């Protein structure tokens, strides 16, 4: 009997007795993966470059009512530090005049406020590109920053041009609110125009290229006019304790991992961090940040899979639209002894705050003095099909760190996105290779095996991999 069969037999016996499955045996000798010297010299992509499901870069348009609640400006500081991760197709300002009292920006128009931040980004650009060559120039961003107010069609035209272009990739649209004093959404106006000019068929073709990670400001286009949006992830609702979900972002993340906004953002991190306002109703409110944190390619998330979990938490179908792919933040996770919606975000809060800290360091520090996230590589397909009781080996020994940092590996079962109905312990004793015997099932089930890799840099940075394992019953 080989080792796998022996394990299988032992496991089956154990599982029958306890109803729990456990397994994991480390195979390969532990290695301490570090980047090659060539890799260390380069700007490595910080995403998930080898997974079979690695998606192309996402196209993103943001629409913001900056100039009202200063939390849009908080979110914009963070957003601009992630523009290396996507192709930013546009930034649309929807508020013509800043709101006196609440908003203290020296610029008094929505467009002026956004441009001021992009100009500050431009001052950091020379430093940022030393950390990731994919950062666009400030000029490229300014070219695509337009107004959607005063009856101007710049925002409408930008959206239509992005959708109509030859690029086959969908466009993710992120509306950050249209609070009082703001004009309506340019996307709503674009859809009105397309429907009027192109009829039902042209409208359907157009809409098919849209994805929403967004507040809903699109009226009938969301609710009644067919076809529905192909995918809408609503990062603002439903309510929790009689407040909308996005209000939890502050409580869960503001000090996660020891984050200190004065030390890590406002002081000694360059002109962009200095524009992060503090006068919001909640500390570091950032009510709009989850719209794009949902899209940060961490290796764990897949934007077309809202139920999988992300740096913006995990999402489930909106009951009101049960026939559509419309999701919101109604899912609880079991974590650290509690079952709560907060956990879907809280379990990653320190990771995403540390990542923000590192990028602020990138604004002012050379490559060798700042930290960069591990590059997680799992050999083979990110989807596996295995029969009950068979062995499954997952090998992440090719994982590297651009700084040569020591890496910690943690394999775990993300139970909620899967269908396997019982606890499944996965323990590889911190090794980069996992062998598990998949549990016995009576019907086909899915198990989401996650790998979390953290480095020992300052601050510690984390990336992930996910392997979705389909377990089939024995026989056949
Ligand atoms: Ca807003
Ligand atoms: Ca590192």
Quote the ligand 2 centre to 197 CA distance (angstroms): 52
Q: Tell me whether residue 108 is exposed, middle or buried, using C-beta atoms within 10 angstroms of its C-beta: 0 to 12, 13 to 18, 19 or more.
A: middle
Mean pLDDT of 241-264: 97
What tokens appear for 29 in the block?
Answer: 């000798």
Contact by Cβ (8 Å): 211, 162: no
CATH code for position 125: 3.90.245.10
| Whether 462 and 313 share a structural domain | no
Quote the ligand 1 centre to 322 CA distance (angstroms): 27
Cα gap 295→303, rounded to integer Å: 6
Asked if residue 360 is part of any domain, the answer here is: no
Ligand nearest to the CA of 236: 1
| Whether 196 and 296 share a structural domain | yes
Ligand nearest to the CA of 64: 1
Indicate the average pLDDT of the chain: 90
pLDDT at 48 over 60: no
Quote the ligand 1 centre to 287 CA distance (angstroms): 7
pLDDT 10s digits, 386-426:
999 999 999 999 999 999 999 999 999 999 999 998 888 88
DSSP, res 279: -
Asked if residue 359 is part of any domain, the answer here is: no
Quote the ligand 2 centre to 358 CA distance (angstroms): 10
Q: What phi and psi, each to the nearest 5 degrees, are found at residue 309?
A: 100, 150
| Whether 177 and 289 share a structural domain | yes
How big is the CA angle at 155 (ends 151 and 159), to the nearest 5 degrees? 140
pLDDT 10s digits, 295-316:
999 999 999 999 999 999 999 9
Q: What was the pLDDT predicted at 396? A: 98
Mean pLDDT of 443-447: 97
Asked if residue 251 is part of any domain, the answer here is: yes
pLDDT 10s digits, 160-173:
999 999 999 999 99
pLDDT at 18 over 60: no
Ligand nearest to the CA of 358: 2
Quote the ligand 1 centre to 175 CA distance (angstroms): 8
| Whether 178 and 326 share a structural domain | yes
| Whether 221 and 122 share a structural domain | yes
Quote the ligand 2 centre to 459 CA distance (angstroms): 9
Asked if residue 51 is part of any domain, the answer here is: no
Cα gap 362→335, rounded to integer Å: 32
Cα gap 177→285, rounded to integer Å: 14
Number of domains in the chain: 2
H or E segment and range at residue 328? strand 326-328
| Whether 155 and 224 share a structural domain | yes
Quote the ligand 2 centre to 59 CA distance (angstroms): 27
Residue ranges near ligand 1 (ion) with Cβ within 5 Å:
65, 72, 176-177
| Whether 299 and 441 share a structural domain | no
Sign of the Cα pseudo-torsion (352, 119, 62, 99, in order): positive
| Whether 253 and 390 share a structural domain | no
Quick one: the chain helix, strand, coil %, rounded to 5?
A: 30, 20, 50
Quote the ligand 1 centre to 128 CA distance (angstroms): 26
Which of 317, 350, 383 is the endpoint of a domain? 350
Quote the ligand 2 centre to 414 CA distance (angstroms): 25
**pLDDT band at residue 55, thresholds of 50, 70 and 90?**
low
| Whether 197 and 137 share a structural domain | yes
What tokens appear for 351 in the block?
Answer: 């990771």
Cα gap 407→373, rounded to integer Å: 10
pLDDT 10s digits, 162-212:
999 999 999 999 999 999 999 999 999 999 999 999 999 999 999 999 999
Q: What was the pLDDT predicted at 47? A: 39
pLDDT at 121 over 50: yes
CATH code for position 426: 2.60.40.10
State which residues form the domain around 272: 59-350
Asked if residue 99 is part of any domain, the answer here is: yes
Quote the ligand 1 centre to 19 CA distance (angstroms): 48
| Whether 100 and 204 share a structural domain | yes
Ligand nearest to the CA of 182: 1
Ligand nearest to the CA of 217: 1
Q: How far is CA 153 from CA 94, 188, 423, in A?
A: 11, 12, 54
Quote the ligand 2 centre to 353 CA distance (angstroms): 15
Q: What was the pLDDT predicted at 423? A: 82
| Whether 346 and 387 share a structural domain | no
């Amino acid at each position: 009997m080989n080792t796998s069969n022996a394990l299988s037999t032992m496991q089956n016996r154990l599982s029958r007795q306890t109803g729990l499955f456990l397994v994991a045996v480390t195979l390969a000798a532990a290695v301490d993966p570090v980047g090659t010297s060539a890799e260390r010299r380069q700007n490595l992509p910080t995403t998930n470059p080898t997974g079979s499901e690695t998606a192309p870069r996402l196209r993103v348009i943001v629409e913001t009512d900056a100039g009202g609640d200063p939390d849009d400006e908080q979110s914009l500081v963070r957003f601009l530090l992630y523009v290396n991760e996507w192709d930013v197709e546009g930034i649309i300002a929807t508020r013509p005049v800043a709101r006196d009292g609440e908003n203290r920006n020296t610029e008094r128009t929505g467009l002026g406020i956004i441009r001021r931040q992009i100009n500050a980004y431009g001052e950091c650009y020379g430093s940022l590109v030393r950390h990731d060559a994919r950062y666009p120039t400030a000029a490229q961003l300014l070219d695509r920053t337009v107004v959607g107010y005063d009856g101007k069609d710049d925002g409408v035209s930008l959206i239509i041009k992005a959708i109509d272009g030859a690029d086959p990739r969908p466009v993710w649209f992120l509306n950050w609110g249209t609070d009082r004093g703001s004009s309506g959404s340019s996307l709503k106006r674009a859809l009105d125009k397309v429907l009027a000019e192109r009829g039902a068929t042209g409208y359907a073709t157009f809409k098919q290229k849209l994805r929403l990670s967004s507040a809903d400001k699109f009226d009938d286009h969301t609710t009644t006019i067919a076809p529905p949006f192909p995918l809408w992830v609503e990062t603002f609702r439903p309510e929790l304790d009689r407040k909308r979900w996005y209000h939890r972002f502050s409580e869960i993340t503001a000090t996660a991992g020891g984050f200190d906004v004065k030390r890590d953002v406002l002081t000694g991190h360059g002109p962009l961090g200095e524009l992060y306002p503090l006068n919001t109703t909640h500390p570091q409110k950032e009510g709009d940040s989850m719209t794009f944190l949902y899209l940060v390619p961490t290796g764990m998330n897949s934007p077309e899979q809202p139920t999988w979990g992300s740096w913006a938490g995990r999402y489930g179908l909106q009951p009101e639209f049960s026939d559509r792919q419309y999701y919101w933040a109604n899912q609880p996770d079991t974590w650290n002894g509690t079952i709560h919606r907060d956990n879907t975000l809280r379990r990653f809060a320190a990771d995403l705050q540390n990542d923000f800290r590192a990028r602020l360091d990138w604004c002012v520090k050379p490559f060798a003095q700042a930290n960069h996230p591990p590059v997680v590589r799992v050999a083979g397909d990110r989807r596996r099909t295995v029969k009950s009781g068979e062995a499954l080996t997952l090998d992440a020994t090719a994982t590297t760190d651009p700084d040569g940092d020591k890496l910690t590996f943690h394999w775990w079962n993300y139970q909620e996105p899967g269908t396997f109905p019982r606890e499944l312990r996965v323990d590889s004793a911190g090794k980069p290779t996992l062998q598990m015997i998949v549990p016995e099932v009576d019907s086909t089930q899915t198990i989401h095996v996650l790998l979390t890799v953290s480095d020992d840099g300052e601050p510690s940075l984390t990336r992930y991999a996910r392997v979705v394992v389909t377990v089939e019953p024995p026989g056949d």
